[in-house]
Structure 1
Amino acid sequence: MALLAPVRHGVSSVGGVLLAAATRAAAAVRPAAKPLHPSGRIRQARLYRHGLNPPLGIGFLDAPGVDEVVVRESRAVGLPQALPDVQGLALRVPIGDGAYGDLLLASTGWGKVSRFVLTVSRTTYGRPMTTLLPYRTTAGPLLLGARSVGHATVELSCAVGDGPWRHFADLRLSELDADPSVLDERGDISFDPVLHRVPGLDQYRWVERLREPAYDEARADRGES
C-alpha cells in the first residue's frame, strides 16, 4: 500500500490540473460564475434520516433526525433540456451552531464499478447519482448515493468501497424555491465540499489535490479568494 501512495499522489495531482484546465476552458467558452453546472433550480427539501443499524461510526449516517436542507439540481455542461447531460445534485445540510456541510452528487451507475463512472441523462433523476470520489471515514472509503424512488422522493444510501448500498435517509423535495435569504447576490448558491464538510466525512488528501485546483478556478472566476 505504501508503494501506491506516490502513484496516487501523482495521479491525483495530474487529475487536479486537468480538472482545473477543464474549468478554465468552460469559463473561456461560457463566462459565468459557475463554469460547470452554470445554472440550476434551487429548492427547499427535507431530509429524513432513519439511521443505520449496525452503525458505521458516522453521526450523520448513524443517527436518526430530520433536517431542513437546500437542494440545487443542475446540468454539468448546461446543455438544452432535450439533450443528455451529466446531472448534478447538491445538498446543503445543517451541522449545528449555524454551520452547514455541502454534499455533491453526479449521475453515475450503481454497480461496484459503475458507481465511480459518470453517466448522462436527459432528466435530473433519470440515472442514479453518487459522490463519485470516496470520503475518508472510520469505516473506510465511503460513497454516498441517491436514487429517485417516486414523485419528489429521493432515497439516499451509503456504501463502503464497492460494498453493498445501505439506505440511511429519504430526501423529500418541495415545490417551493429556496428562501432568498440563503442565496448570494447572484441569486444562486456556491456549494463547496472542500470548504464545507459534514463531520465524519473527511476528504482524502489525494481527493483534495484532485478537486482543489478546479474549485480555486471556480472561486477566482466568481471573484472570491
Structure 2
Amino acid sequence: MADLADAAGRVVAVPLAALARVRRAKPMHPHGAVFPAVLRRQGIGVGIPWLDAVGTDDAAVRFSRGAGLPARFPDLLGLALRVAGDPPVDLLLSSAGRGRWTRRVPVLRRDAATPYGSVMAYRSAAGPVWLTALPQGGPLPSDAAGLAAAAPGRVVQLDAAVGRGPWRTFGTLLVGPVAGPLDPDLRFDAVLYPPPGLTTDGPMARFRRPAYAAARVARGAPRDAREPVPPSRRSGPDRK
C-alpha cells in the first residue's frame, strides 16, 4: 500500500507541476485570502503535546477555493493555518463533514462558514487524530474580495477527535485584518510541518508528499521552503 500510494503521488505530481507552471501559482487552491490571526489553545489533556498545550501564538490563516471556480459555483473550500515557530506548524483543512465517516470525505461548498477537516488522520501515541475548524458568526463569502471584508474579527473554533472519541475544542483562532497583500505566496505543507506529537500517516500522506514537492519545485520554490507568519499587530504577556 505504501508503494502504491507513493507511486500514485508521483504520477499525479506530473500534471500538478505542469498546472503550477501554467498558472505560475499553486496548482490547487490558486487564489485565496490570507489574514494574520491569533491562536489561543486551552489544552484538552489527551496525551498529545500540541493539543494539551495552553498558550497564545501568532498565526496566519488562508481561505481559498480549491479549483478556483467563480464564487457562484460550489467548490472544495480550503482553510490553511500556519502557526509561528521553528519549525512552524501547518494545517491544511478542506470542507468536509464532522461525522465519524463524513469527516473523511471532502464536500463542495459555497459558504466559507462550513466545517473544514484534516480528512486524513494523524498518527499519535493516543491513537488516530482528526482535526477540524469551524468559522463562527454566520455565512461567510468564499471569494477573496468577500473574505477580505467579512473575515476579520471572525472566530474559528478548532476541534480534535481522538480515535472514536467525540470532538473536543482545543483552541480558537481570532482572524485579524489584512496586513499586506491579500494573497501573498505562502507555502503551506502539512506533511513537512505537522503539530508536535502528531505524524502524518497513511496512504494520503504518502500520496501528498511527492505531489507537494513537485508543485513546489515547478513554482521555483525550494522543496522544504518555509515562510514567515504575517504580523498580528498583537502583543501580550501570554504570548509564547
What is the TM-score of this pair, normalised by structure 1? Answer: 0.82
- Who is 2:169 aligned against? 167
1:135-174 equivalence runs, <5 A: 135-150=122-137, 152-174=154-176
Residues 77-122 of structure 1: per-residue CA shift (max 9 Å, x gap): 0011111111101111123xx4311111000111111100000111
- Who is 1:5 aligned against? none
Aligned partner of 2:92 among 94, 97, 104: 104
Q: Secondary structure at the match of 1:84?
A: coil
Structure 1 residue 217: Cα displacement: 2.0
1:16 maps onto 2:9 in alignment: yes
- Who is 1:62 aligned against? 52
1:214 maps onto 2:211 in alignment: yes
> What one-letter code is carried by the residue in structure 1 that aligns with 2:163?
G
Give the number of equivalent residue pairs.
Answer: 207
Structure 1 residue 197: Cα displacement: 2.8
**Residues 108 and 119 in structure 1, CA contact (< 8 A), matched pair in contact too:** yes
**Residues 39 and 173 in structure 2, CA contact (< 8 A), matched pair in contact too:** yes
Write out the 4+ residue segments of structure 1 that deviate beyond 6 Å after TM superposition.
none
CA distance in 1, matches of 2:164, 2:94: 17
Q: Given the superposition, is the C-alpha separation of residues 179 and 25 from structure 1 closer, same or farther in structure 2, using an over 3 Å criterion?
A: closer
Residues 129-177 of structure 1: per-residue CA shift (max 9 Å, x gap): 1111111111111111011232611110011234311111111111x12
Q: Secondary structure at the match of 2:212?
A: helix
Q: Given the superposition, is the C-alpha separation of residues 34 and 146 from structure 1 closer, same or farther in structure 2, using an over 3 Å criterion?
A: same
- Who is 1:77 aligned against? 67
CA distance in 2, matches of 1:105, 1:22: 22
> What one-letter code is carried by the residue in structure 1 that aligns with 2:92?
L
- RMSD of aligned residue pairs (Cα, Å): 2.3
Report the more deviating stretch, 202-211 or 111-120: 202-211
1:47 maps onto 2:49 in alignment: no
CA distance in 2, matches of 1:140, 1:106: 22
1:128 maps onto 2:115 in alignment: yes
> What one-letter code is carried by the residue in structure 2 that aligns with 1:201?
L
Structure 2 residue runs without a partner (length 5+): 139-153, 223-240
**Residues 70 and 178 in structure 1, CA contact (< 8 A), matched pair in contact too:** no
Report the more deviating stretch, 60-69 or 194-203: 194-203
CA distance in 2, matches of 1:149, 1:103: 19
Structure 1 residue 22: Cα displacement: 5.4
> What one-letter code is carried by the residue in structure 1 that aligns with 2:52?
D
CA distance in 1, matches of 2:38, 2:20: 33
Structure 1 residue runs without a partner (length 5+): 1-7
CA distance in 2, matches of 1:25, 1:84: 25
- Who is 1:177 aligned against? 178
CA distance in 2, matches of 1:161, 1:15: 27
**Residues 6 and 210 in structure 2, CA contact (< 8 A), matched pair in contact too:** no
Q: Secondary structure at the match of 1:45?
A: strand
What is the TM-score of this pair, normalised by structure 2? Answer: 0.78
Q: Secondary structure at the match of 1:219?
A: helix
Q: Secondary structure at the match of 1:40?
A: strand
Percent identity between matched residues is 42
> What one-letter code is carried by the residue in structure 2 that aligns with 1:177?
V
